[in-house]
Amino acid sequence: MRLLSCLLLSTLATIFLSAAILLKLPGPFDQKALWVSLAVPLIWLGFMLHAYWDERRWRTVAVPSGAAALGIALVLTSAAPQV
């Protein structure tokens, strides 16, 4: 379960959460895109480490799944970015 979370769920959570951050952060899009892209490796590593850090096994699945679900919800309920 931790392995699944580390390899798969962390990747999905990183992608969807980063997309949501990109939509919700204020500021010019090109600058935002660069800041988010800089944060991507750190977010990904954070989720991977969490998969083996947390004592509770269910939480290692719930946290990245929740983050991915939140990201998807925010993307679907937001308008496309204004350029």
- In the complex, the residues that contact another protein under the rule CB under 8 A are 2, 6, 14-16, 18-19, 22-23, 28-31, 33-38, 40-42, 44-45, 48-49, 52-53, 55, 75, 80-81, 83
Q: How far is the CB of 66 from another protein (least distance, A)?
A: 18
CA end-to-end distance (rounded Å), the chain: 41
Measured from the CB atom, is 26 or 30 closer to another protein? 30
Measured from the CB atom, is 43 or 66 closer to another protein? 43
